[in-house]
Copies of this chain bind each other. A is one copy, B any other.
């Protein structure tokens, strides 16, 4: 029953946002329905990925899950790239990273902490994640600094961007090997499986899963494009900056599916799984989605450089520091969640005022 309801809702909002887009209805209406459609379609894409991953066996499945986990964000970002909205691409990547590290992690830790007082998870995973996040920050920060302090030609900027992007993807692939092959046991949570329970029994047959994955990907591409088309309204009519729209509006919509999953798991006292979703998603953005976008733009003929603005870099650094400080002892409580949320609000207000 519940399953049918979500399928019906998905279909309705997909059709509705198509109509809104092609009939040029009111831009606000277009934005609202396509935003809801993106959230629903991203959820569908997530379930289809998990189902295919189930049939692919543990290792390949884990790889699929990890790599397609941010497929919706990647597709939205490619749509933004095609429109030439490079600043908004970077803002939405920034927003995804800080949204996962502050909002998703903060709400999960807060909600879980209110219910369970103290929650614990594997310290080894927290430490590894912390170090990886620092390397991601360094990879984004060093090129920006070199560019701001030295005269470097645009070609050199592109070269540096592609080299750093290549290194990040290599680090990401090595991380998959490390976390899924050589040190799988070492990173496992003490008591709980990492993934939601519905992983256990896939709803769909193998062929149906693959078919749904293809359909969901195509649908995501469409609704993402419709959504991206409405964003101009915010910058031109309401005077919001691309930075704010990318970092807060786009990022929150693109990550809605992860948000609800992580919070649910925290309330079921599976805080380790919540941390993995939130931190894992932000790492995927920095180590996989961002570098892939640089290569995509390179093949499209106009390389997007890896140089984020000072504000974006500071927002990312600040989020990494506070998140690392909070997860590094492998224990969380409601106040730590609150601190993450306070940091998110401070950044939000500041981005809004720019």
Docked CA distance A311–B138 (Å)? 13
Among residues of B, the one whose C-beta sits closest to the C-beta of A347 is: B142
Inter-chain contact A322/B353, CB cutoff 8 Å: no
Q: Is the CB of A338 within 8 A of B174?
A: yes
Q: How many residues of A contact B (CB 8 A)?
A: 62
The answer to whether B336 touches A160, judged by C-beta atoms less than 8 angstroms apart, is: no
Contact check, A146 vs B335: say whether CB atoms are below 8 A apart. no
Report, nearest first, the 8 A-B pairs whose CB atoms are least far apart.
Answer: A178-B335, A131-B325, A146-B350, A135-B339, A127-B329, A138-B318, A171-B342, A134-B322
* Chain A, range 98-132, C-beta contacts under 8 Å to B: 117-118, 123-124, 127-128, 130-132
Residue of B nearest to A152 (CB): B353
Asked if A314 is at the interface (CB within 8 A of a chain B CB), the reply is yes
Which A304-354 residues have C-beta < 8 A from chain B? 310-311, 314, 318, 321-322, 324-326, 328-329, 331, 333-336, 338-339, 342-343, 345-347, 349-350, 353-354
Please indicate the chain B residues that have their CB under 8 angstroms from the CB of A203 in the complex. Answer: none
Smallest beta-carbon distance A339→chain B, Å = 5
Interface members, chain A 124-162 (any B CB < 8 Å): 124, 127-128, 130-132, 134-135, 138-139, 141-143, 145-146, 149-150, 152, 156, 159-160
User: Among the listed B123, B135, B152, B331, which residue makes an inter-chain contact with A329, where contact means beta carbons less than 8 Å apart?
Assistant: B123
A164 is an interface residue with CB less than 8 A from chain B: yes
- A175 within 8 Å of B (CB atoms): yes
Contact of A183 with B by CB under 8 A: yes
Bound together, the chains give a CA A171 to CA B346 distance in angstroms of 12
Query: Given that A174-B335, A178-B334, A183-B335 are known contacts, is A342 also in contact with B145, CB under 8 Å in the complex?
Result: no
Query: A167 at the A/B interface (Cβ < 8 Å)?
Result: yes
**Does A207 sit within 8 A of B, measured CB to CB?**
no
Contact of B142 with A314 in the complex, beta carbons under 8 Å: yes
Cβ contact within 8 Å between A124 and B331: yes
Q: Does A163 contact B (CB under 8 A)?
A: yes
In this assembly, does A186 line the interface, its C-beta being within 8 Å of a C-beta of chain B? yes
Would you call A29 an interface residue if the criterion is a C-beta within 8 Å of the partner chain's C-beta atoms? no
A160 to B351, CA, bound (A): 11
A170 within 8 A of B: yes
* Residue in contact with A160 in the complex, picked from B167, B335, B353, CB distance below 8 Å: B353
Excluding A138-B318, A163-B349, 14 further A-B contacts by CB distance (< 8 Å) are A123-B329, A124-B329, A127-B328, A131-B326, A132-B339, A138-B346, A139-B342, A139-B346, A142-B314, A143-B346, A145-B314, A149-B310, A160-B349, A174-B335
A-B contact pairs, 13 of them (CB 8 A): A124-B331, A131-B339, A134-B322, A138-B318, A141-B314, A145-B310, A145-B314, A146-B354, A149-B310, A150-B354, A159-B353, A171-B339, A324-B325
B336 and A131 form a contact (CB under 8 A)? yes
How close is A122's CB to chain B, nearest CB, in angstroms?
12
Contact flag A143-B350 (CB < 8 Å), given A138-B318, A325-B130, A343-B135: yes
Are A345 and B167 in touch, CB under 8 angstroms? yes
Cβ of A26 within 8 Å of any chain B Cβ, yes or no, is no
Least CB separation from A314: chain B residue: B145
Chain B's closest residue to A133 (CB) is: B325
A182 contacts the other chain (CB 8 A): yes
